Structure 1
Amino acid sequence: MNANIYKLFRERFPEDGKTPFLIPTEGAPLLYGDLDRRTARMAGRLCAHGVEKGGRVAAQVEKSPEAVLLYLACLRLGAVYLPLNTAYTADEVAYFLQDAEPRVFIRHPQELNQDAPPFEDIAVMKEDNLAAILYTSGTTGRSKGAMISHGNLSSNALTLHRIWGWREGDMLLHALPIHHVHGLFTALHCALLNGSSALFATKFDAAEVIALLPQATVMMGAPTYYARLLERPELTPGLCANMRLFISGSAPLRLETFAAFKTRTGHEILERYGMTEAGMIASNPLEGGRVAGTVGYPLPDVKARVDAETGVLEIAGPNVFKGYWRAPEKTDQAFRPGGWFITGDLAEISGDGRIAISGRATDMIISGGLNIYPKEVEDRLDLLSGVKESAVFGVAHPDLGEAACAAIAPDGTAEITEEAVRSALDGKLARFKIPKRVFLVDDMPRNAMGKTQKTKLRERYGGTFL
């Protein structure tokens, strides 16, 4: 049996090859009838550059139909796809390339060898063969590569396609980036399994999404997207008359956003919960009550429990990743016996099985759906002249959900200003990681053991953006 997820997708392609798969806001649609041929051509070009089954392909590419073809070609060939955020700096990318040692690093898919013969086969893969490596930073600030298998992707996609009630005629509105789980796996895989078309925006732009909504039936987005749509007076029940499902993830959905969206459109946003290492884990129900402030029930093939001592959510299921790339010790630390993965998220499970995420055991910040790990930013801050100590923490933000802020204790050897600190980080870190505010403090709040109390900093500066 061939467990290659591309084979599963191809079996679901519409018989009418004229059905569009991707409908970009600019340029010609990518038809299902052309999809198999074009992935074969792209896979052939990868072969010409020395990529074989099991070989790694790193890509830092702008969102486009060609970028999606590159991903699907890697699946078809049996290569391992490593998507990298286009916001990453050269220094950050250098680490990923050193760690992953890919056969090729691609910035512009169209520049691959155009004369190579197509790869017409579909590589035979087992369920536990790698399909992708997605980098997710650790609390130490050192990025880890989560190894995702074909079986992980297939099980998650089939489950989500079923529980979210995908049906004939569904049209996806896709305004997500395609370098992480939400946009690359969750959204595109559901559309492919359903043989559906996707309105394919290169980025989220509220005005553009407003213009596309009347054509769509399903939209997936980060909470920030819905908050920005609410700022548009055009958002009305009439505009959303064709919509059947709005899905939110990548960060907690604010209660105010949930309530305001229902009032304005008549739609209750379906909040779900996932992470790089496991894809989607839980979802509010398609039919029945969607409870604001909860992420719903574990998916049918996922088991969930909360550790009685730590309060941390642990999960097990076919969606859970294989481990961290070349990091066996970190992998061992992330699992308990029986295959239970320690998510690092603090949670409560109600009597009827609903999961509510109450916080994170780590200091990770989710800003606009993007993960920021304080240690990585602190390491950069501590290198600046005049900095004795730094602490990076998240505070509530009405648009981003959370915003990164930094507290700096100067050592008196050089003048420090907020503007100078932010400027010094520009080009060293992706822009979304640069603190939105920098506060100068005489001393850091500490506990009895001398550890910086970031909770005190969050309390002190919690109203900065509210």
Structure 2
Amino acid sequence: MSVDVIDRLRDMAARADRVWIQGSTSYGDLLAETGRMAHALGALGLAKGDRLLVQVEKCPEVLSLYLACLRAGVIFLPVNPGYTVAETQHFLTDAEPALALVEQARVAAVEELGARAMSFVDFLALAAGQGADFPDPPHAPGDLAAILYTSGTTGRSKGVMLSRENLASNAEALVDLWKFTETDVLLHALPVFHTHGLFVATNCALYAGASLVFQRSFQPDAVLADLPKATVMMGVPTFYSRLLADPRLTPELCRGMRLFISGSAPLSPATHAEWRARTGHVILERYGMTETNMITSNPCDGERRAGTVGMPLPGVEVRVTGPDGAVLAPGEAGSIEVRGPNVFGGYWRLPEKTAEEFRPGGWFVTGDLGAFDAEGYLSILGRAKDLVITGGLNVYPAEVEAALDDLPGIAASAVIGVPHPDFGEAVVACVIPAAGAKLDEATIRAALRDRLAAFKIPKRVLVLSEFPRNAMGKVQKADLRRLHAGLFADD
């Protein structure tokens, strides 16, 4: 069984030399702050098993509150602060939190929805007056630690129930795999309402006794200024593409960096190659999701293959299966399934949906399509719902996108299936031009003829200025399909 997150925090706090946030907070300070916050939760009537909804802008205190909830046994429920009050209503109704901590301007609106609310500033003031020593109640590895809601791009958001062991086991595996040590300094520019910034980044640093360069949001100027202070950066592909657009990104600026990690959305092979050419560093791409934490990773030592997400983490099993559930051989594409201590316990108050997503033996069906190569590297071919079936033939969007991204003048691509009167679905490519480039549909289609079979070549290429994306930078293909559903209506 893994070492609990709070036990690890106590280990680090016992060492006076350990710095949590550079320039402000030691691990000892962090432990004291979490104690005060845990007391404040109790003073507000929250007990072990209660849910705490937190919808505030990113700040160091949010990380402290997450840890305070672990200490008190209160279930942490972070919500994107960009959501409107109307959008937040679903989480309030579904999770029934004992308290919602929000910005002062939202307190009255949240209370009008029938929830108990308090401003985060008032909570921090209450916590500041509490004692630092907190008697943690007993905890078990299977106790619920957090509920994170899925993005809801395919329907109503579902609450993912994550246990203390889910978080601890994944942190231990990643620290070992990515060779985190107490000498590392993590540049933290990710949001903290999502598993990437909240759990992967925070817990890796904490378990290693590393420190953070804490940034409240991703701003290229600030990241470039702080890179010389850091040894590791975790980001989404958008971070890397935006930094590549800045001429200040040089090998010298990255000289002290040990590792660049990318996740939460697919990293294009073109970005992978350009980053290596510009900085001398090879980005490490990994694969995970809210329900499973991290699943696979390219190696820290060894070949990091562009277009792949590496191999299963230690202790995590991954398989690719066909429609009949049979395990497929390397090179064959199918459904990605995962089993291990990282996998969530189910969806909050949705037992039937939970049962649908698991196969016998505890295998979770991720909804992603992929294939292993002969060396065990996994490639993600897209979501099962994004598979395009045209004229009875399967087209995996990732394959077409990789071919498009290799063409000059294309900054980004997204391939979707659109209803077609003859083929059932037609392959359609949406592309964003690189700065200064002028893209021509016929030229792009012609350039793909030597790269792809005829049935995979997009029947239309749409040049767009931007893609609809969620908060983590993932292209929202469902929105693209809705926008262009009538493209072939008159054919």
**What's the TM-score bracket when you normalise by the shorter of the two chains?**
0.7 to 0.9
Specify the alignment match of 1:83 in structure 2: 78
- The answer to whether residue 33 in structure 2 is matched with residue 38 in structure 1 is yes
Q: Is the 8 A contact 1:223 1:249 kept in 2?
A: yes
1:64-463 superposed matches below 5 A: 64-107=59-102, 108-112=119-123, 113-114=126-127, 115-118=129-132, 120-137=134-151, 140-309=154-323, 311-363=334-386, 395-397=430-432, 443=486, 445=488
Q: Is the 8 A contact 2:191 2:198 kept in 1?
A: yes
Counterparts in 2 of 1:439 and 1:55: CA distance versus 1, 3 Å: closer
**1:321-368: CA deviation from partner (whole Å, max 9, x where unpaired):** 0000000000001100000000000000112211100111124999xx
Q: Is the 8 A contact 2:181 2:209 kept in 1?
A: no
TM-score under structure 1 length normalisation: 0.77
2: CA distance between counterparts of 1:123 and 1:398? 56
Counterparts in 2 of 1:313 and 1:433: CA distance versus 1, 3 Å: closer
- Kindly state the Cα deviation for residue 443 of structure 1 after the two structures are TM-superposed: 4.0
1:69 aligned counterpart, secondary structure: helix
Q: Is the 8 A contact 1:304 1:315 kept in 2?
A: yes
**1:280-334: CA deviation from partner (whole Å, max 9, x where unpaired):** 0000001110000000000011101111227110000000000000000000011
2: CA distance between counterparts of 1:146 and 1:438? 26
What amino acid does structure 2 have at the position aligned with 1:186?
V
Specify the alignment match of 1:11 in structure 2: 11
Counterparts in 2 of 1:394 and 1:53: CA distance versus 1, 3 Å: farther
1:15 aligned counterpart, secondary structure: coil
- Kindly state the Cα deviation for residue 445 of structure 1 after the two structures are TM-superposed: 4.9
Q: Give RMSD over aligned pairs.
A: 3.0
2: CA distance between counterparts of 1:163 and 1:81? 27
Q: Is the 8 A contact 2:158 2:348 kept in 1?
A: yes
TM-score under structure 2 length normalisation: 0.73
- Kindly state the Cα deviation for residue 436 of structure 1 after the two structures are TM-superposed: 8.9
Q: Please identify, of 127-136 and 107-116, the stretch whose mean Cα deviation from structure 2 is larger.
A: 107-116
- Kindly state the Cα deviation for residue 15 of structure 1 after the two structures are TM-superposed: 0.9
Q: Which consecutive unaligned segments of at least 5 residues does structure 1 have?
A: 367-373, 375-392, 400-424, 447-459, 461-466
Q: Is the 8 A contact 1:283 1:295 kept in 2?
A: yes
- Kindly state the Cα deviation for residue 194 of structure 1 after the two structures are TM-superposed: 1.2
What amino acid does structure 1 have at the position aligned with 2:384?
A
What amino acid does structure 1 have at the position aligned with 2:275?
F
**1:176-214: CA deviation from partner (whole Å, max 9, x where unpaired):** 000011000000101111111100010001111000001
Q: Is the 8 A contact 2:143 2:163 kept in 1?
A: yes
Q: Please identify, of 170-179 and 100-109, the stretch whose mean Cα deviation from structure 2 is larger.
A: 100-109
2: CA distance between counterparts of 1:105 and 1:217? 36
2: CA distance between counterparts of 1:205 and 1:223? 14
2: CA distance between counterparts of 1:98 and 1:106? 15
Residues paired across the two proteins, number: 388
Residue among 40, 50, 53 paired with 2:48: 53
1: CA distance between counterparts of 2:44 and 2:208? 33
Counterparts in 2 of 1:231 and 1:95: CA distance versus 1, 3 Å: same
Q: Please identify, of 326-335 and 1-10, the stretch whose mean Cα deviation from structure 2 is larger.
A: 1-10
Q: Which consecutive unaligned segments of at least 5 residues does structure 2 have?
A: 103-118, 325-333, 388-396, 399-415, 417-427, 435-467
Q: Runs of 4+ in structure 1 displaced over 3 angstroms?
A: 1-4, 114-119, 137-140, 363-366, 393-399, 432-446
What amino acid does structure 2 have at the position aligned with 1:335?
F
Q: Is the 8 A contact 1:66 1:110 kept in 2?
A: no
Q: Is the 8 A contact 1:136 1:145 kept in 2?
A: yes
**1:130-160: CA deviation from partner (whole Å, max 9, x where unpaired):** 0000001456511100000000000000000
2: CA distance between counterparts of 1:396 and 1:225? 19
Q: Is the 8 A contact 1:3 1:150 kept in 2?
A: no
1: CA distance between counterparts of 2:484 and 2:238? 30
Q: Is the 8 A contact 2:190 2:235 kept in 1?
A: yes
What amino acid does structure 1 have at the position aligned with 2:158?
K
Counterparts in 2 of 1:137 and 1:218: CA distance versus 1, 3 Å: closer
Counterparts in 2 of 1:56 and 1:351: CA distance versus 1, 3 Å: same
Percent identity over the alignment is 49
Q: Is the 8 A contact 1:168 1:194 kept in 2?
A: yes
Counterparts in 2 of 1:361 and 1:394: CA distance versus 1, 3 Å: farther
2: CA distance between counterparts of 1:40 and 1:14? 15
What amino acid does structure 1 have at the position aligned with 2:200?
T
Specify the alignment match of 1:379 in structure 2: none
1: CA distance between counterparts of 2:153 and 2:225? 40
Where relative contact order (Cα < 8 A, 6+ residues apart) is larger, the structure is 1
2: CA distance between counterparts of 1:3 and 1:161? 13
Q: Is the 8 A contact 1:4 1:125 kept in 2?
A: no
2: CA distance between counterparts of 1:166 and 1:32? 17
Counterparts in 2 of 1:261 and 1:287: CA distance versus 1, 3 Å: same
